[in-house]
Amino acid sequence: MSRAIDPGERIRCANVEVKGLAREQVIGGPTFSGVTIDGAAITVTAARAKPLLGGSGGLTAEDLRASILTPDGVSFVITARFGKIDTVSRTAELVDGVVFETSTGYRIQTERIVTSLDATEIIADGTITASGPLGQITAGQMVLRQKSEPGMQSTYDLVFKSGVKLIYTPRQ
């Protein structure tokens, strides 16, 4: 049963700054999706996004989540507090508290990841810490790319570089 309506009662409003909303161009909960040239499905979502100044076609975003599903069923999920999507270079840069997880069991933490929106290529060019099937890994860089050889099925290589340290944990 519904409540009785009191015509003298104040109208309830959301507690937002109306002037700020009118002044800024903000998109709430945007989702961008597509397919890379190597056939991987990519979806990027954010809590909020706004266009970059200067009309470059790019945007900045908060609380990002990028999901990639490769044709062979391997998936990758990247989360970050902030990011920038550059529609000219077709890249997404995710920064601040970046976590990169793979369906093969790796969980990688870093401060910055750049991913292509056209092909499956993910690059962390700063210090990373990771845990995975082999144990604990620290490195100066990480790169994930499609590896294809003539006559062979394409695979994806996750490569750690620059001062790699592995603490091996054998499986029980």
pLDDT tens readout for residues 129-161: 999 998 999 999 999 998 877 766 678 899 999
Give the C-alpha separation, 127 to 112, whole Å.
Answer: 9
Within a 13 Å sphere around the CA of 101, how many CA atoms are in the beta-carbon half? Answer: 10
pLDDT beyond 60 at 118: yes
Q: Which of 51, 35, 108, 53 is nearest to 85 (CA)?
A: 51
Phi, psi of 19 (to 5 degrees): -65, -40
What number is the average pLDDT over the span 61-77?
93
What number is the average pLDDT over the span 68-88?
92
Q: Are 144 and 78 contacting, i.e. CB atoms less than 8 angstroms apart?
A: no
* Sign, CA torsion 49/130/107/121: positive
Residue with tokens 């009118």: 22
pTM exceeds 0.85, yes or no:
no
Higher-scoring residue by pLDDT: 120, 80: 80
What number is the average pLDDT over the span 42-66?
88
pLDDT beyond 90 at 2: no
SS3 21: helix
pLDDT beyond 70 at 40: yes
What number is the average pLDDT over the span 65-94?
92
Q: Which of 64, 138, 68 is nearest to 103 (CA)?
A: 68
User: What pLDDT does 69 receive?
Assistant: 94
User: What pLDDT does 14 receive?
Assistant: 57
- Tell me the pLDDT band of 42, cut-offs 50, 70 and 90: very high
